[in-house]
Amino acid sequence: MKPVRLLIAALVLLGLGGAVWYSEKHPPQPKSDVKTEKILALEQDQIKKIRISRPSGGDTVALEKGDDGKWRMTEPKPYKADESSVSSMVSSLASLNADTVVNEKNSDWKSYGLEPGKIAVQITLKDGKEKKLLLGDDVPTTSGAYAELQGDPRLYTIASYVKSSIDKPASDLRDKRVLPFDSEKVSRVSVKTTEQTLEFGKAGTNWQIVKPKPMRADNSAIDDMVRSVKDATFESVLDESEKPPAKYSFASPYAVFEAVDAGGVHTLTIGKDKKESTYYAKSTDMPGVLKISSTVAEGLNKKLDALRNKKLLDFGWSDPQKLEVRDGDLRMAIEKKKEKDKQGKEQDKWVRTDASNKELASDKVQSLIDHLRNLSAKGFAADEASAQTKYGLSKPIAEAKVTSDEGKRVERVFFASADGKYYAARENEPATYEIEKTSYEEFQKALNALK
């Protein structure tokens, strides 16, 4: 036989041998009677436990639903679970569909990687019954994997995306929030840094600065700070020892955040690696040293003035019912009254009550209200203890008293000028606000338009 023919024959035999080996390793799926079918049909709320193991080696993940309806991880370590990720997995398992039924009465499981299986999923229901699902080799001809339900003789295939929704490591299923407190029920928050200690109390939906002394707070700014910590997630777990090494700087922290909700006190301690500008966190709600983003850490290092309420008046978007204003010798008392028109319909009218009950143009009154509503500080006096005397607020050049919320809210502000700057203060409050000159001039202009 010529060498070329011999070589061709050898290659043909090699190809046939490989095909035989492959067919034995991955038996072909029958092309007839291929059908889809449901593998599992369970009520999601009846699933109590899920245990995912890897018989050939790898971490085991076990999850259990508590009496409160929340999932917790019990293996490899006790962690809070990510409710969204676990719920997605439970949904996939509860209503698990097969792509195909390969064999109605299968006897050879090993050839499909199902003896003992690549992934074993044990599901425990509330009534104590158990279901065990095995996932095997990937299907060579399609995108999917072989599957077996213990006690069921059928050999299934499932879609690859279904397998991915089940085959989750612990890192994907644990709660990554560093401090998962209840922001809706938080009543107190404190932030300690090397430069300051701040404390905030909440009554209803409004925040109040408690420390270093009682002050009006910027609700939006504090809500943003609280939300940033509540929603913060860790980037990685660096150490899980009971006593973290000194290199994480928890003994002299960059910041300490504390929140009190209905469940108790939640504390986040943040350390900083000054050389690398890396931030570490230690939480009372989960074990380990966690690496967190600089955004979360540096967001706790805000100056006090950035968290104070700069609005001079709190009536917001609810229009007042009464205004008493003065600018120099010009004084005016204005009140909203309801009167009936010729058709007997009630309508609001603004009337001067300090003179002749003269009706005022509603658009001009609204202009004055808008200017009062928009009054905002550009800063605060440095020495607030003596600022009101220093800047002439004990003898103001102008003032405004606003009654709103059906008479329940009464606010009074005073205006003064010193050294070419303009200041304002609220009645019975020590804070002194520096305002723009144009803000005062616009108030004057709106008031004079009502003469």
Mean confidence (pLDDT) of the chain? 88
* 287 has a pLDDT exceeding 80: yes
Using DSSP's 3-state secondary structure scheme, residue 86 falls into helix
| Least confident segment among 58-72, 231-245, 333-347, 411-425 | 333-347
- What percent of the chain is modeled with pLDDT above 70? 91
- What is the structure's pLDDT at 317? 86
Query: How far is Cα 299 from Cα 249, in angstroms, rounded to an integer?
Result: 19
pLDDT tens-place string over residues 172-210: 899 999 998 998 899 999 999 999 999 999 988 899 999
Span 248-277, average pLDDT: 92
pLDDT attached to residue 20? 43
Residue ranges with strand state E in 230-345: 236-239, 255-261, 264-273, 278-283, 286-292, 322-327, 330-340
CA 37 from chain centre, in angstroms, equals 40
The whole-number pLDDT of residue 368 equals 96
Torsion sign, CA atoms 251, 254, 258, 259: negative
Confidence check: pLDDT of 388 > 70:
yes
- pLDDT value at residue 350: 93
Contact 331, 354 (CB under 8 A): yes
Return the closest-CA partner of residue 114 out of 71, 145, 81, 68. 145
364-376 pLDDT, tens digit per residue, is: 999 999 999 999 9
User: Percent of the chain beyond pLDDT 90?
Assistant: 68
Residue 36, pLDDT score: 62
**With 50 as the cut, is the pLDDT of residue 377 above it?**
yes
Do residues 132 and 149 make contact, with C-beta atoms less than 8 angstroms apart?
A: yes
Task: Pick the closest to residue 281 from 231, 235, 241, 242 (CA basis).
Answer: 235
Instruction: Tell me what the mean pLDDT of segment 278-293 comes to.
Output: 92
Give the pLDDT confidence score for residue 3 in this predicted structure. Answer: 52
Show the tokens assigned to 279. Answer: 């931030």
**How far is it, in rounded angstroms, from Cα 141 to Cα 18?**
16
The residue-averaged pLDDT of 317-333 equals: 93
Q: What is the predicted pLDDT for the residue at 241?
A: 82
Average pLDDT for 225-232: 95
User: For the segment 15-56, what is each residue's pLDDT rounded down to a tens digit?
Assistant: 544 544 444 445 544 443 445 689 999 999 999 999 999 987
Residue 321: per-residue pLDDT:
95
Residue 148 has pLDDT above 60, yes or no: yes
CA 120 from chain center: how many Å? 34
What is the DSSP code (8-state) at residue 114? -
pLDDT at 383: 67
Per-residue model confidence (pLDDT) at position 35: 53
Question: pLDDT tens-digit profile of 95-139?
Answer: 999 999 999 999 999 999 999 899 999 999 999 999 999 999 999
Q: Which two tokens stand for residue 8?
A: 């061709």
Give the strand order in the sheet containing 432-435: 359-360, 346-352, 330-340, 322-327, 398-404, 409-418, 421-426, 432-435, 379-380
